[in-house]
C-alpha cells in the first residue's frame, strides 16, 4: 500500500499562506500592492490593535474594482488577472502575478471585501465575506467605486503562527516600514495611514520624491539630500542620497530601493551606492539612499522569492556599475560639494 496522498485544497492553502503571510505587515503589503496594480490614485490603510495583537487591517482604494464574478474568484488559489501564460512571466509589469495572496490571507483570517467596478452601470457594490477560506456570504452593498478589504482575526486558525507574532509595537513598526516603502516607491499615489483612527502620515501623490520623504521622515531630513538623476548604461536612476558631510548612520537603515516600481532589498545595489561615494563616505558609515531604478523588465526576474522581496538581475554587474556612476556624478555635481572643493 502506498503512503503518499495528494494534499487537499485546505492544507495546500495553509502551506501557501505560511509562505506569503508571515505577519500583519505581509497582509498590508499584499493588499496595498493589489490596490497599486488596480490603478488606484488614493490608498487608505487603517489599523486597529488591542493590547496583544493587530486586530483589524482595512485597505481602501479608488482603483478599477471588480465585477461580482471576479470578487468571488479572488479567493481561489492561483487566480489572477495579471498573467495567463508562461511567457507572461518573462516581463512582469504588475506587482502581483501569482494569484496567491488573497487566497492565502483568506485561509488564515476573516476577510470582508467590498468592491465596485470602475464605470459600472450597476448601482450596487458587492460584498464578500470569507472566514478561513470558507465563503460566508456574498451580498449587494452600497460603496463607491474601488475596493476595500477588511482583514480581522489574523492567524485565528493557525495557533502556531499566531504564537510567533511579536508585540503589537513590533508588528506595527513592521507595518509602518512597509507602508513607507510602498509610498516611497509609488509617489504618484496618495497614501494615508491611520492607527486607531489617528493619522500617522499622508503623502499627496504629486510624484515628488522629496515631498514623500518629507512626509515620512520630516522636512529637515529631506533637505539634507542630493538628487540623483540620469541614465547610466542600461539603468535609469532617479532618487535622492545623503549630501556628503551630513549626518550618516552606522547601519544601512535608510536604504530604499525600487526596481521598476517594485520595492525590494538588494545588498549588491547597496554596495554599488557606497562605492559611488568612494572616499566621501566615512569608514563604517552608511548614507541614506532613496533610489528608483528603471531597467528593461526582461533583465529582471521577479519570480524568485515568494514575497518578491528580492529580484534576480541578469546583468547585475552592469546595473551596479550604472548605480555607482550615477551616485558618483550626483555627488560631484552637487553644489555644496563643489563649493567645498579646493579651487583648481
Ligand atoms: P495577484 O495580485 O498575484 O494577481 P492576488 O491574490 O493578490 O493575486 O489577487 C487576485 C486577483 O484579485 C488580482 O489578480 C486582481 O484581479 C484581483 N484584485 C485583488 N485586489 C484587488 C483590488 N484592490 N482591486 C481590484 N482587483 C483586485
Ligand atoms: Mg496581489
Cell of 142: 452600497
DSSP string, 82-151: S--SGGGGGS--SS--SS-HHHHHHHTSEEEEEEE-TT-S-S-EEEEEEETTEEEEEEEE---SEEEEEE
Ligand 2 centroid–CA 146 distance in Å is 15
Report the alpha-carbon distance of residue 219 to residue 181 in Å, rounded.
17
Ligand 2 centroid–CA 135 distance in Å is 19
Q: Report ipTM (2 d.p.).
A: 0.98
pLDDT for 302: 73
Query: 234 by DSSP, 3-state: which?
Result: coil
What confidence tens digit (pLDDT) does each residue in 271-326 have?
Answer: 999 999 999 998 899 999 999 999 988 888 776 666 667 778 888 899 999 999 99
Domains of the chain, first to last: 9-202 (3.30.565.10), 224-339 (3.30.230.10)
What confidence tens digit (pLDDT) does each residue in 188-210 have?
Answer: 999 999 999 999 999 999 999 99
Q: Whose CA is nearest to atom 7 of ligand 1?
A: 101
Could you tell me which residues come within 8 angstroms of residue 301 by beta carbon, excluding any fewer than 6 positions away? 311, 312, 313, 314
Ligand 2 centroid–CA 82 distance in Å is 9
Ligand 1 centroid–CA 232 distance in Å is 35
Alpha carbon of 73 to those of 108, 130, 204, 321: distances in Å? 17, 12, 33, 44
- Find the residues whose C-beta lies inside 6 A of ligand 1: 30, 34-35, 37-38, 61, 63-66, 74, 79-82, 96-103, 147
pTM, full prediction: 0.87
What confidence tens digit (pLDDT) does each residue in 119-172 have?
Answer: 888 888 999 999 999 999 999 988 899 999 999 999 998 888 888 888 999 999
Residue 18 scores a pLDDT above 80: no
pLDDT for 59: 98
Report the alpha-carbon distance of residue 111 to residue 131 in Å, rounded.
6
Q: Whose CA is nearest to atom 13 of ligand 1?
A: 80
Report the alpha-carbon distance of residue 193 to residue 158 in Å, rounded.
27
Amino acid at each position: 500500500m502506498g503512503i503518499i496522498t495528494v494534499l487537499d485544497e485546505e492544507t495546500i492553502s495553509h502551506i501557501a499562506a505560511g509562505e506569503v503571510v508571515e505577519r500583519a505587515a505581509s497582509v498590508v503589503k499584499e493588499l496595498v500592492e493589489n490596490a497599486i496594480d488596480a490603478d488606484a490614485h488614493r490608498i487608505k490603510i487603517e489599523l486597529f490593535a488591542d493590547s496583544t495583537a493587530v486586530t483589524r487591517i482595512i485597505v481602501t482604494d479608488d482603483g478599477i474594482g471588480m465585477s461580482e464574478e471576479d470578487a468571488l474568484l479572488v479567493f481561489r488559489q492561483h487566480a489572477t488577472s495579471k498573467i495567463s501564460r508562461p511567457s507572461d512571466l518573462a516581463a512582469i509589469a504588475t506587482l502581483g502575478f501569482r494569484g496567491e495572496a488573497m487566497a492565502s490571507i483568506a485561509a488564515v483570517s476573516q476577510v470582508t471585501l467590498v468592491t465596485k467596478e470602475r464605470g459600472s452601470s450597476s448601482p450596487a457594490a458587492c460584498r464578500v465575506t470569507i472566514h478561513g477560506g470558507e465563503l460566508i456570504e456574498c451580498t449587494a452593498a452600497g460603496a463607491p467605486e474601488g475596493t476595500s478589504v477588511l482583514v480581522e482575526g489574523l492567524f485565528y486558525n493557525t495557533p502556531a503562527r499566531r504564537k510567533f507574532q511579536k508585540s503589537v509595537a513590533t508588528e506595527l513598526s513592521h507595518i509602518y516600514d512597509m507602508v513607507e516603502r510602498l509610498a516611497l516607491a509609488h509617489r504618484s499615489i496618495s497614501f494615508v495611514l491611520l492607527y486607531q483612527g489617528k493619522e500617522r502620515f499622508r503623502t499627496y501623490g504629486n510624484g515628488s520624491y522629496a515631498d514623500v520623504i518629507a512626509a515620512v521622515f520630516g522636512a529637515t531630513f529631506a533637505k539634507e539630500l542630493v538628487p540623483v538623476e540620469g541614465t547610466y548604461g542600461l539603468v535609469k536612476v532617479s532618487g535622492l542620497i545623503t549630501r556628503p558631510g551630513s549626518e550618516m548612520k552606522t547601519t544601512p537603515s535608510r536604504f530604499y530601493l525600487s526596481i521598476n516600481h517594485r520595492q525590494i532589498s538588494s545588498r549588491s545595489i547597496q554596495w554599488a551606492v557606497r562605492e559611488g561615494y568612494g572616499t566621501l563616505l566615512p569608514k563604517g558609515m552608511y548614507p541614506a539612499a532613496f533610489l528608483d531604478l528603471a531597467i528593461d523588465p526582461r533583465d529582471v526576474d521577479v519570480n524568485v522569492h515568494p514575497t518578491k522581496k528580492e529580484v534576480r538581475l541578469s546583468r547585475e554587474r552592469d546595473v551596479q556599475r550604472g548605480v555607482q556612476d550615477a551616485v558618483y556624478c550626483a555627488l560631484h555635481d552637487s553644489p555644496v560639494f563643489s563649493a567645498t572643493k579646493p579651487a583648481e
